[in-house]
Structure 1
Amino acid sequence: MPKHAAPAPTGEIRPTPLAEALGERYLAYAMSTIVSRSLPDVRDGLKPVHRRLLYAMRQLKLDPEGGFKKCARVVGDVIGKYHPHGDVAVYDTMVRLAQDFAVRYPLVEGQGNFGNIDGDNAAAMRYTEAKLTPVAMALMEGLDQDAVDFRPTYDGSEEEPVVMPAAFPNLLANGAAGIAVGMATSIPPHNVGEICDALDWLIAHPDCAVDDLVARMPGPDFPTGGVLVEDRAAIAEAYRTGKGGFRLRARWTVEKLSHGLYQIIVTEIPYQIQKAKLIERIAELLGEKKLPLLGDIRDESAEDVRLVLEPRNRTVEPALVMEQLFRQTDLEVRVPLNMNVLDAQSVPRVMDLKEVLAAFLAHRLEVLERRSRFRLDKIAHRLEVLDGFLAVYADLDTVIHLIRTADDPKAALIKRFRLTEIQAEAILNMRLRSLNKLQEIEIRREHDALSKEKAGLEALLADPKKCWKAIGKEIAETRKAFGGATALGRRRTELAEAPVALEVPPEACIEREPITLVLSEMGWVRALKGHVDNADGLKFKEGDQFRLALPTWTTDKILVLASDGRFFTLSGDRLPSGRGQGEPIRLMIDLAPEAEIVTVMVHQPGRRLLLASDGGRGFIVQENDVVAQTRAGKSVLSVAEGERARFCLPVAGDAVAILGDNRKLLVFKLDEIPDMTRGRGVILQKYRDGGTADIKLFTLADGLSWSLGERTRTETDLTLWLGKRASVGRLPPNGFPRSNRFG
């Protein structure tokens, strides 16, 4: 069989490792995304899609003074001539540039439905119309005067500007945001008047520090207003490094109502927050009972923003209501700053504020020089023509004769009057009506004016100081057109001091509802809704029974004293539901296996407690000092081996009555017991055998009372039992209960 030759290779074949091939291709993709899609140019602050959109609208003559055109027509031109991407992406860009709540200084003026702050989408592009704004025209001022370079479009059929001349400082004024491959940018909008002040200062003081510029440009200015509450030092540091962030809050006021009621009105919400989603989120938190200080929210917005917040009751402070909302909702946001941009050589890097402003000024200087040279070329051409006109005006009859009789009038004119090709062509194209005397005077006047302008431009290009003075004049014109004296340019975001952190009490974050804590003998705990007088009808596990019921509130803290002298703290809102049989309390606190629950009580801040063991030792402690922050609790009363903590009494009155198992009663003054934070305490009563049976605090002048079943007896003469702390005491009065309890 004949052998078939292998097909010859059609191109160069190079063996390449897969990792290297993938790396090259991914790097090419990454650079394309960084340069041609996601990062703005530091000079005009535009990404390619923005630049192409504005240029296409300019080519369509959509000037501010002209009429509108359908957005579909504009989008068609953009994707057909300049930007070969999806029409949806281009239209979305166009919509955003027209939204005054998304862009600080809109570049597109829209007619029709362009969406709203609630997050509703714009109408389809076949229904909406648009044209350029004066801001956009300022960005493109000088495109026809060789101010910037042009390059071929993607198919080579047209040309597009590499960068806009940018008489308007768009990068800082409108900001930018984008995510590229391995890097991102986030620049908030700023006030043009303040940017112009910083530019003037930089021109006058090229070696100034960033802090000097921040003093004139103190922070972002968002289209939706709000209140900037970032610390001044943090703002300055962000501008010094090019990276940081700003805390932005909604603007709110208090509106007084009758009968001491009030409501909070939110008039401005943070930048890029959709109002509808914000309201939806607040409503969700209300439903989940995570905003107990807030009663209701209403949206009364029309063209302006008006959110009405009703407090739960009139006693709560408005600042506390708003602090809770700031912490849990987008009424406070953090706006990032990452000034990662493309420099004049299309190299991405993070710049500080001074570098950004300096790059803009350098671009304006280049634009000024290019426009000046362009104008000089135009003037030189016109002066050449005018010189030709003036050369022949002295002998118009000869000119007419040559034109009528010469076979080649152009060559004859050049030879006779020593003209250039351009001059001879201009003379031949001159109309007869221009040959009058008045026209000669007008030409001489124009020649003088152009000569003067030429001298001025040459002097300008030769003197850097004059160039910077001219740029300063341009900046002043920008300030006058778009600065703080105009409705568009006035500052919208208030600059406030960093707020003092308000401590919202934990109980303020819980809806206050009445509950009853029920504890069984075996240590099962549950919370019944409402304040229940008795526990009749409650079911317990087999072998278990009711121990105590404690009326309390969901906002309360519950103190639990164990027999080992350790205190634990439970939150009323976290008690298990009373629908079932509850949960073992040992699942909520780390109660020692051998310890038992002695006392359960509602915490009252500022109160004092008398703690005592069954061994007759104790002390007084501030109740605030026994509150535990963890499951492990807090050891307060130290007990000796064989003893246990037994008494926890709120301090009241001025005397203590203590009764031992030996049936000896001792009464002494309360001030004999020291205040301590922890320890065994002091001896309250001495015993030979047994320990403490009962303790009671009372007012000595009122006498000592004890229960005798359905009646109560009070002993007012306590002289026999009154003694010093740590005494033995003596037998109680006749008729004292055999149970050795005060009742």
Structure 2
Amino acid sequence: ATNIPPHNLKEVCNALLKLLGNPEIKDYQLVAGDAIQGPDFPTGGHITNTKEELREIYATGTGTIKLRGVAEVAEKSRTGDTLRITEIPFGVNKAAMVERIAELVYSSKLPLVQEVRDLSTEDIRVDLLLKKNADADKVLAYLYKHTPLQTNFNVNLTCLTPTENPEVGAPKRLGLKEILWYFLHFRLDVLTARLTNELRALEKRIHILEGFALIFDALDEIIKIIRSSEGKADAAEKIMKRFPVKELTPAQSRRKAKASNGLDAEQTDAILELKLYRLARLEINVVLDELKKKRKRVDEINKLLADDRDDYTSSGRWAIIKEELQSLISDYGNTPAGRRRSTIVVPTEEVEYTEEDFIVAEDCHVMVTVDGWVKRQKQIADPSKSRLRQGDAVLACVSGNTRSTIALFSSLGVCYTSRMIDIPASTGFGEPIQKLFKFKDGERIIAALSMDPRILGDISEDPKGTYYPATHALAASTDGYALRFGLQPFAEPSTRAGR
């Protein structure tokens, strides 16, 4: 498994040049200055990791990049501001994100937003119309927590590294310096292969040019042979017979000397394909100039290939690699395609909010049935006329504020507490209570109590130790036992398992 984030071309090239300039450089020194700042995602966004966190990720090859979309207040009006999202995290589906935000708005979980508009074209633009006096920072903080506007990118710098077998790579988790080192040596292998291929092509061309140079000294004789021949094959045979290739002595072979008084089949074929205008007197100078340049280039390549591949400072091939990296920076580094898209922004202080900030404060009624169905409505004038499933009956109908809680007591002596806003709003039968809580086998709700202070009164307990608050509860069991208990511990919403 591997998960390597994209990076900025200019920064990577600068880091490679730093490594070439100082092979002993440390990982953290590559994550500084004009070298690598951090990942650079094509969709932009804000990276909220600290410099220390990023350096740790690049040193160990693993960690989490915290990525946020970009939003700002674009328009202000008396009816409400407009919060505009212009960048989204890498890998997030925009349509799915907009759908999630709309779901929160229309389910009243994000009441500070009036409307969601997706006005995106080639660029991202999602407008959130806020209600009057709504705090845009709190809305944004809520979106970061409950929508894909903030995501994590789990970095895993596992790579296939070269082994003795060129067909097989060994998986290994690398740090930044190791990855750059392997890449530089890969570039060296590519350059070596390129130079070797160029050398073969040059030697082939030099071989042909040497043939041309040879026949210009015996041009009349060559023309005479061609004119007396029966065809191309006959002419080639006669020319090679007239200019046979002599074997080189061992000393000539060591000096890589070329036979200057013979033609082989390849040279002869090129001569017979030669256009007539190339037989002009001035053309021999063109051939000789080209031959001189080609031989000079061959000497340069042989010198480059003979260099020590691990000597970063004096090796000619490493100098070429440096030039290519600098050329990439100059060609693409300052263009729109080469600019950094993701900004590294460390929040100075996170905006704090409570769940109550996003609950519309309004009165409501909650109805619980004997069979364990529950629903919330703005007003229930007559519970007996409310819609119920066949054979079901009303167990309790309580009133309160959407920000207050409702306590549901079960037959097993457990209290389940939920905010009234979290009870599904419905004009039908409602929803089973089991969707909100985790019941045991045979457990059922036997009583409900609104924890709204206007209805319940003072349930606070005396911190000095007085047990009985002004308002408390009485419970009785089927076996004839009874107890009194305070309600304050049950005022806050419980987990699915209850209290």
Q: Same fold (TM over 0.5)?
A: yes
Is residue 97–residue 148 contact of structure 2 (8 Å, CA) maintained in 1?
A: yes
CA separation in 2, counterparts of 1:384 and 1:575? 89
1:264 is displaced (CA, Å) by 0.3
Q: CA contact under 8 A between 1:189 and 1:221: conserved in structure 2?
A: yes
Q: Which amino acid aligns with 1:328?
A: H
Q: In the alignment, residue 41 of structure 2 is paired with which amino acid?
A: F
The structure-2 alpha-carbon separation of the partners of 1:383 and 1:469, relative to structure 1 and needing over 3 Å to count, comes to same
Aligned match of 2:195: 372
Choose from 29, 33, 39 the match for 1:212: 29
C-alpha spacing 1:587/1:435, structure 2 compared with 1 (3 Å): same
Is this contact kept in 1: 2:245–2:263, CA < 8 A?
no
Write the distance in 2 (CA, Å) between the matches of 1:528 and 1:537.
12
> What's 2:319 paired with?
469
* SS of structure 1 residue aligned to 2:53: helix
Superposed CA deviations along residues 271-292 of structure 1, whole A, max 9, x for unmatched, are 2222221121222222333223
Q: Secondary structure at the match of 2:282?
A: helix
- TM-score, normalised to structure 2, is 0.69
- 2:211 matches 1:388: yes
Q: What are the Cα deviations for residues 455-499 of structure 1, in whole angstroms up to 9, with x where unaligned?
A: 221222233421111011112232334x33122221111221146
SS in 2 for 1:365: helix
CA 527–480 in structure 1, closer or farther in 2 if over 3 Å, else same: closer
Partner of 2:465: 638
RMSD value over aligned CA atoms?
3.9
Distance 1:529 1:401, change over 3 A: closer
* Cα 1:240/1:578, change in 2 over 3 Å: closer
Q: CA deviation at 1:323?
A: 0.6
- What is the match of residue 278 of structure 1? 97
Written as runs of structure 1 = structure 2, the 5 A alignment for 1:608-687 is 636-639=463-466, 646=470
The change in CA–CA distance for 1:414 and 1:275 in structure 2 (over 3 A counts) is: same
Secondary structure of the corresponding residue to residue 144 of structure 2: helix
Instruction: Tell me the amino acid that sits aligned with residue 273 of structure 2.
Output: N
Structure 1 counterpart SS, 2:63: strand
Quote the Cα distance in structure 1 between the aligned partners of 2:383 and 2:302: 101
Q: Does 1:318 align with 2:162?
A: no
Q: Whole-Å Cα distance in 1 between the matches of residues 154 and 128 of structure 2?
A: 28
- Give the aligned partner of residue 160 of structure 1: none
User: Are the equivalent residues in 2 in contact too, given 1:388–1:427 (CA < 8 A)?
Assistant: yes
Q: Is the 8 A contact 2:78 2:132 kept in 1?
A: no
- Counterparts of 1:647 and 1:282 in 2: how far apart (Å)? 41
Contact 2:116 2:127 in 1 (8 A): yes
Indicate conservation of the 8 Å contact 2:404/2:451, yes or no: no
Q: C-alpha separation between the residues in 1 aligned to 2:281 and 2:293? A: 19
User: How many pairs does the alignment contain?
Assistant: 393
Aligned to 1:555: 403
> What does residue 497 of structure 2 align with?
none
Query: Structure 1 residues 200, 233: closer, same or farther in 2, change over 3 A?
Result: same
Match of 2:360 among 504, 511, 515: 511
Query: One-letter code of the match for 1:413?
Result: F
- Distance in structure 1 (CA, Å) of the matches to 2:215 and 2:279: 10
CA distance in 1, matches of 2:243, 2:276: 17
Q: Tell me the secondary structure at the aligned position of residue 326 of structure 2.
A: helix
Matched, 1:432 2:281: no
Alpha-carbon separation, structure 2, partners of 1:255 and 1:409: 84
Q: Deviations over 1:96-148 (max 9, x none)?
A: xxxxxxxxxxxxxxxxxxxxxxxxxxxxxxxxxxxxxxxxxxxxxxxxxxxxx
Corresponding residue of 2:180: 357
1-side partners of 2:469 and 2:458: how far apart? Answer: 18
Q: What residue identity is the alignment partner of 2:56?
A: E
User: Deviation digits for residues 532-566 of structure 1, max 9, x if unmatched?
Assistant: 9xxx9899xxxxxxxxx99x7433589xxxxxxxx
Q: CA deviation at 1:302?
A: 2.3
- 1:593-608 aligned at under 5 Å gives the runs 600-601=456-457
2:116–2:128 Cα contact (<8 Å) kept: yes
Which of 261, 266, 272 lines up with 1:418 in the alignment? 261
CA contact (8 A) 1:557 1:602 kept: no
Q: Select the residue among 146, 152, 172 that pairs with 1:328.
A: 146
User: What residue in structure 1 maps to residue 493 of structure 2?
Assistant: none
Contact kept, 8 Å, 2:46 with 2:342, in 1: the verdict is yes
Please show how residues 86-235 of structure 1 align to structure 2 within 5 Å: 184-215=1-32, 216-235=35-54
Q: Following TM superposition, by how much is the alpha carbon of 1:236 offset from its aligned partner in structure 2, in angstroms?
A: 1.7
What does residue 458 of structure 1 align with?
A: 302
More displaced stretch, 252-261 vs 298-307: 252-261
The question of 1:255 aligning with 2:74 is answered yes
- Cα shift at 1:385: 2.2
1:385–1:554: structure 2 CA closer, same or farther, 3 Å change rule? same
**Would you say the 8 A contact 1:413–1:424 is kept in 2?**
no
Change beyond 3 A, Cα 1:409–1:289: same
Q: Distance in 1 between matches of 2:116 and 2:366?
A: 33
Q: Distance in 2 between matches of 1:491 and 1:602?
A: 59
Aligned-partner SS, 1:187: coil
Amino acid at match of 1:467: R
SS of the aligned residue for 1:385 comes to helix
Distance 1:388 1:505, change over 3 A: same
Aligned equivalents of 2:7, 2:458: Cα separation in 1: 54
- The Cα shift of 1:249 comes to 1.1
Q: CA deviation at 1:375?
A: 1.2
Q: Deviations over 1:225-281 (max 9, x none)?
A: 122222322222122122222111111110233326311011111222222211212
- Secondary structure of 2:155's aligned partner: strand
CA separation in 1, counterparts of 2:118 and 2:267?
A: 73
SS at match of 1:347: strand
Contact 1:413/1:419 (<8 A) preserved = yes
Q: In 1, are the aligned partners of 2:456 and 2:471 still within 8 Å (CA)?
A: no
Amino acid at match of 1:354: K
Tell me if the contact between 1:242 and 1:339 (Cα under 8 Å) persists in the aligned partners: yes
Q: Does structure 2 conserve the Cα–Cα contact (< 8 Å) formed by 1:529 and 1:578?
A: no
Q: Secondary structure at the residue paired with 2:110?
A: coil
Residues 514 and 645 of structure 1: CA distance in aligned 2, closer, same or farther (over 3 Å)? closer
> Is residue 508–residue 555 contact of structure 1 (8 Å, CA) maintained in 2?
no
Q: Counterpart amino acid of 1:636?
A: P
Question: Distance in 2 between the 1:600 and 1:259 partners?
Answer: 39
Distance 1:218 1:269 in 2: 20
Q: Does 1:309 align with 2:118?
A: no
SS at match of 2:40: coil
Q: Determine if contact 2:15/2:36 at 8 Å carries over to the other structure.
A: yes
Aligned to 1:488: 337
Counterpart Cα distance in 2 of 1:586 and 1:488: 62
Unmatched tracts of structure 2, length 5 or more: 163-167, 230-236, 247-259, 310-314, 368-374, 385-397, 407-416, 430-444, 473-499
1:321 Cα offset (Å): 0.1
2:243/2:263 contact within 8 Å kept? no
User: In structure 1, what is the Cα distance between the partners aligned to 2:418 and 2:29?
Assistant: 54
Cα distance in 1, alignment partners of residues 422 and 462 from structure 2? 23
Residues 410 and 432 of structure 1, relative CA distance in 2, 3 Å threshold: farther
CA–CA distance in structure 2, aligned partners of residues 373 and 537 of structure 1: 93
Deviation at 1:365, TM superposition (A): 0.3
- Summarize the Cα distance change of 1:186–1:537 in structure 2 as closer, same or farther, 3 Å threshold: closer
Deviation at 1:639, TM superposition (A): 3.5
> How far 1:315 moved relative to its partner?
2.0
**Equivalent-residue separation in structure 1 for 2:377 and 2:446 (angstroms):** 13
**What code does the residue aligned with 1:476 have?**
Q
Alpha carbons of 1:331 and 1:602: their partners in 2 closer, same or farther (altered >3 Å)? farther
Residues 297 and 310, structure 1, Cα contact 8 Å, conserved in 2: yes
